Amino acid sequence: MSASAEPAPPADDSTGYVIPRDVPLWDIFLTFLVIGATSFGGGVVAYLRAGLVIRKKWLDEEHFMSALEISQALPGLNATNMAIIVGDRLRGIAGAVIAFLGITLPGAALVMLLGVLYASNASNPYVNAALVGVGSAAVGMLAAVTMQIGRKQFGGLIDAAIIVVTVTMVSFLHISLIWVLVTVGPAAVFIYRPRKNDTDGTGEPAA
Amino acid sequence: MNQNLSVLAVFSLLSVLAVGGGAAVLPETKELVVNQYHWLNDDQFRDIYGLGQVVPGPNMLMVMVIGYHVTGFLGALLAYLGFFVPAGILSWGASRVWDHFEGSPWRVSLQKGMAPLVIGLMAAGAIAIARTAIEGELTVAIAVGTFIGVSFIRRVNPAFFVLGGGLIGLILLSGTGAGMP
């Protein structure tokens, strides 16, 4: 794969949908800037879908899901990985860079403003009390989001075992994340390896 | 080692380890930033994580504030580049070759195997933040209230619950010395 500045060739599929090639860079920047400035509360995938698939029609559902699949399988945040992949498909490397800057700049500017204010008010009792409240609420939100994703993808006892092993290794045995990833990861993928008599392509162990 | 290089190295490592997103890499972030490099203490880590939750966009932009605490604005920039660029390059490369694996049964295996691992890592992330944020009954109440709110009141943006938690903290905890260093 050469690192050319040309966009990846648009995938031709049965629906005949082709990713537009002539989207101006400023339009990519502005679209991701708006998503970056309005996506509060973590659910950035919903904002991306609304902006890219529904409003701009730069991607159809299928291409959106394929980009999301890559973002989730690889390290990094969905928001920035999606911006880079979609920007690249629209306008090559320049599109990827501009989309990444767009989605991160509003939050980056605001978090730095808050960070500088925090650094000079770190011993203010009101600031501390408010941040304890925010931190506690964040625990509840993280737990809720984990449950939502867990319920959607939960596949029975095998999954439960993998979850328990992972939490035990990270939270209670304090094993470094890199070791958890290189042991549990391949083991989990091996458990769900393709079977010879798996004809439906679901990856489920054949009965 | 030069502090700026350390910031770049730590966040680049976290970037390539962040399989499953920001929450999944939280325990490791805390371990490196608080316990190994002593850039922040527990309370500062919780506070800066909280700041990251009230701004829009990707939810790990708080890494910039951590970098800022180490070496100022240059540290913030290095943390930003370190945390987002390596993973971004991996995704960029993968997206260009991904279609070649269209229909490979291993793609399904990868997704099915990694899904529970990611859920486990996210749960560990919630535990890591809970260990620094939960102190006393009111904080438990805020966490449980937010959990119920986010889980069952889908029409309200989750960010409002997080801001609400901050407001309750401000009103009810500011006389108690909560979170004071």
Among A67, A103, A131, residue whose Cα is nearest residue B91:
A67
Q: Are B179 and B47 in contact (CB under 8 A)?
A: yes
pLDDT of residue A3: 45
Give contacts of B 8-47 with A, CB under 8 A.
Answer: 15-23, 25, 27-28, 31, 43-44, 46-47
Mean pLDDT of B136-161: 86
Residue appearing with tokens 């992972």:
A166
pLDDT of residue A43: 67
Joined together, the tokens standing for residue A96 give 């990827």
Q: Do A139 and B134 touch (CB under 8 A)?
A: yes
Contact A157/B at CB under 8 A: no
Give contacts of B 45-104 with A, CB under 8 A.
Answer: 46-62, 64-65, 68-69, 76, 80, 84, 86-88, 90-99
Q: Do A115 and B22 touch (CB under 8 A)?
A: no
pLDDT of residue B22: 82
Determine how many CB atoms are found less than 10 A away from the CB of residue A126.
14
pLDDT of residue B58: 87
pLDDT of residue B56: 87
Nearest CA in chain A to B141: A136
Interface size between A and B, measured as CB pairs under 8 A:
406
Q: Are B19 and A71 in contact (CB under 8 A)?
A: no
> Is the pLDDT at B181 greater than 90, yes or no?
no
With vertex at residue B7, the alpha carbon angle to CA A99 and CA A98, rounded to the nearest 5 degrees, is 10
> Is the pLDDT at B4 greater than 90, yes or no?
yes
Determine how many CB atoms are found less than 10 A away from the CB of residue A144.
21
CA distance A182 to chain B (A): 10
Task: Give the residue, A7 or B23, on which the prediction is more confident.
Answer: B23
pLDDT tens sequence for chain A (207 residues): 344 455 555 544 445 677 787 889 999 999 999 999 988 766 677 788 888 988 899 988 888 888 887 887 788 988 899 999 999 999 999 999 999 999 999 999 999 999 999 988 878 888 888 888 888 888 898 888 888 878 777 778 888 999 999 999 988 998 888 888 899 989 998 998 888 765 444 444 443
Contact A122/B at CB under 8 A: yes
Q: Do B55 and A171 touch (CB under 8 A)?
A: no
Q: Are B122 and B24 in contact (CB under 8 A)?
A: yes
Mean pLDDT of B94-102: 79
Report d(CA B17, CA A64) in Å as an integer. Answer: 24
pLDDT of residue A6: 52
Lowest mean pLDDT: which of A186-195, B33-42, B81-90, B147-156? B147-156
Contact A126/B at CB under 8 A: yes
Give one DSSP letter per residue of chain A, joined into a string.
Answer: ----SSPPPPPP-TT-----S---HHHHHHHHHHHHHH--SS-HHHHHIIIIIIIS-SS-HHHHHHHHHHHHHSBS-HHHHHHHHHHHHHHHHHHHHHHHHHHHHHHHHHHHHHHHHHHHSTT-HHHHHHHHHHHHHHHHHHHHHHHHHHHHH--SHHHHHHHHHHHIIIIIS---HHHHHHHHHHHHHHHTPPPTT--SSS-PPP-
Task: Give the residue, B21 or A119, on which the prediction is more confident.
Answer: A119
pLDDT of residue A4: 46
Q: Which of B17, B90, B91, B131 to mutate to test the interface with A (most CBs of A within 10 A)?
A: B91
Domains in chain B: boundaries = 3-102
pLDDT of residue B150: 85
Contact A118/B at CB under 8 A: yes
Q: Do B168 and A133 touch (CB under 8 A)?
A: yes
Write the burial class of residue A155 (CB in 10 Å: 0-12 exposed, 13-18 middle, 19+ buried).
Answer: middle
CA distance A69 to chain B (A): 8
Q: Phi and psi at residue B19, in whole multiples of 5°?
A: -70, 120
Q: How high does pLDDT run on average in chain B?
A: 87
With vertex at residue B54, the alpha carbon angle to CA B89 and CA B77, rounded to the nearest 5 degrees, is 40
Q: Evaluate the CA torsion angle B36, B38, B40, B43 in order and state its sign.
A: positive
List chain B residues with CB under 8 Å of A79.
57-59
Q: Helix B63-97 to helix A61-73 angle, to the nearest 10 degrees? A: 120
pLDDT of residue A177: 85
pLDDT of residue A128: 84
Q: Whole-model pTM?
A: 0.83
Q: Do A129 and B68 touch (CB under 8 A)?
A: no
Q: Are B146 and B53 in contact (CB under 8 A)?
A: no
Q: Do B65 and A104 touch (CB under 8 A)?
A: no
Contact A37/B at CB under 8 A: yes
